[in-house]
Amino acid sequence: MSSELLFYKLGMVLFVFAASMVVALYSTYGERKIAAFLQDRIGPNRAGPFGLLQPLADGIKMFMKEEMLPEASSKWLFVLGPCLAMMVALTTGVVIPWAKPIMLDGQPFHFQVSDINIGILYVFGVVSIGVYGIMIGGWASNNKFALLGALRASSQMISYELAMGLSIVALVMTTGTLSVNEIVAQQDAGICNFVYQPLGFLIFLICAFAETNRAPFDLPECESELVGGYHTEYSSMKLGFYLFAEYINMFISSAIISCLYFGGYNFPFAHEMEGILGENMVRVLGFGFLFAKIFGFIFLFMWVRWTLPRFRYDQLMNLGWKVLLPLSILNIVLTGLFLMRNELLDLIIK
């Protein structure tokens, strides 16, 4: 590997890291503003113009708080929990193609850290180990509420992973590839995958809500029953890491939904605009469009949180196992029938 490539990849990694951090930081501000808007309040408006410095103030506050390690907890695992949550949240962004390769001096510059040919499986693998941060933290706290929150989180995540995986299987059947880059490229100025997979998209979206522990699926940190859920014993920046990981997860899952189902960096009339604006300009514009889609989905996440009440735990399990799982299997069968429609028609005619 040449050192140029290494530096380039390092730069991309830094970009993904910075983008996740900044978007997550301002998602906290966005969440409070949107909550305020939906509840007919003003929201944060003291720190800086329109309260724009509020996330920084919150961050400083988090760092300044007293660090507490419960006496009866297992110290190593107690610290490992939030670190793991944060690490797993940040590793998913690697396979997302942020823009079409931009040509400079006839050399393509890919806006993706790594185009592995099993991109979706990678995302799925990282999501599936995401539960460890919560479980380890909840158990290491040595607190009943935290343990209950951790157990809820783990069973919820396992249940919804299945439906999520099966909805992705249907998507892979239509696209014929597991590479996120290729899936996005296939939707180039054509019909996005949402048209072929409306049911799959709905299942994926609901499961994404459940996997990120957002309302109405935020049972693991259900205040009215479990104090603070799995992070009851946490204070200072360790708590901040848990809360921050949730926002990063939200950002990344929005990015993945936009890439898989809504065409990623593609946008309508891109090819027509290439003649007017030039190829590279359109690609930069596509980058902007991807972020517009991502912000749209983040808004949806927040909108739902401040609109719908929380599920009861048995309702959550019933929805996962008795509604979403059969629906996603039905979706696979329907997709299979659709893909084999010509052969089936031949069979019927004969």
Counting contacts by CB under 8 A, is residue 334 touching another protein?
no
- What CA–CA distance (Å, rounded) separates 162 from 109? 36
The minimum distance between CB 171 and another protein, in angstroms, equals: 15
- What CA–CA distance (Å, rounded) separates 336 from 279? 37
Q: 285, 203 in Cβ contact below 8 A?
A: no
The minimum distance between CB 232 and another protein, in angstroms, equals: 15
Cis peptide before 216 (omega within 30 of 0): yes
Identify which of residues 62 and 330 has a Cβ nearer to another protein in the complex: 330
Residue 103 zone, left/alpha/beta (φ > 0; ψ -120 to 50; rest): beta
Identify which of residues 125 and 198 has a Cβ nearer to another protein in the complex: 125
Q: Which of 19, 68, 87, 128 binds another protein (CB under 8 A)?
A: 128
> CA 126 → CA 32, 210, 267, 295, distances in Å?
28, 15, 28, 22
Counting contacts by CB under 8 A, is residue 158 touching another protein?
yes
Counting contacts by CB under 8 A, is residue 155 touching another protein?
yes
The minimum distance between CB 141 and another protein, in angstroms, equals: 12
Counting contacts by CB under 8 A, is residue 124 touching another protein?
yes
169 CB-side CA count, 13 A = 16
- What CA–CA distance (Å, rounded) separates 192 from 266? 9
Q: Which of 77, 243, 277, 325 binds another protein (CB under 8 A)?
A: 77
Counting contacts by CB under 8 A, is residue 117 touching another protein?
yes
Identify which of residues 161 and 233 has a Cβ nearer to another protein in the complex: 161
Contact window for another protein (CB under 8 A) among 60-68, 145-153, 207-215, 291-299: 145-153
- What CA–CA distance (Å, rounded) separates 320 from 206? 9
- What CA–CA distance (Å, rounded) separates 83 from 170? 34
Q: Extract the tokens encoding 340.
A: 């084999």
Counting contacts by CB under 8 A, is residue 118 touching another protein?
yes
- Helix and strand totals (H; E) in the chain: 16, 2
Identify which of residues 226 and 302 has a Cβ nearer to another protein in the complex: 226
Nearest Cα neighbor of 298 from 66, 77, 33, 105 is 33
Contact window for another protein (CB under 8 A) among 9-17, 143-151, 244-252, 262-270: 143-151
Counting contacts by CB under 8 A, is residue 139 touching another protein?
yes
Task: Give the x-and-dash track for 28-67 against another protein (CB under 8 A).
Answer: ----------------------------------------
Counting contacts by CB under 8 A, is residue 317 touching another protein?
no
> CA 110 → CA 8, 49, 139, 233, 278, distances in Å?
10, 36, 42, 43, 18
Site for another protein in 168-187 (CB under 8 A): 178
Interacting residues toward another protein by CB under 8 A? 74, 77, 116-118, 121-122, 124-125, 127-129, 131-132, 135-136, 139, 147, 150-151, 154-155, 157-158, 161, 178
